[in-house]
Amino acid sequence: MKASEIRTLTNEALLTKLEEAHEGLFNIRFRLATRQLENHRELARAKKDIARIKTILREREIIEK
């Protein structure tokens, strides 16, 4: 997910996406532990998506103050 796409979402939608991303990361880690993960780039991609969402939420928090 691109940062420009994330910025169009509301804070509530971002929090929902963040929860989904954390669940996805958990599932990827589980598949990695059980050696069922075929594409190891999924792990890095999930972490980056979480970081992007958190960064934009933090930007909005700073602007609101």
Q: Write out pLDDT tens, residues 12-36.
A: 999 999 999 999 999 999 999 999 9
Sign of CA dihedral 25, 51, 4, 37: negative
> Percent of the chain having pLDDT more than 70?
100
- Asked if pLDDT for residue 1 goes beyond 90, the answer is no
Q: Confirm if 49 and 20 have CB atoms less than 8 A apart.
A: no
Give the CATH number of domain 3-64; options: 3.30.479.10, 1.10.287.310, 1.10.760.10, 3.40.50.720.
1.10.287.310
Q: Write out pLDDT tens, residues 34-48.
A: 999 999 999 999 999
Structure tokens at 62: 């700073």
> Rounded to an integer, what is the distance from CA 19 to the centroid of its chain?
8
Spans of all domains in the chain: 3-64
Q: Which of 18, 23, 25 is nearest to 46 (CA)?
A: 25
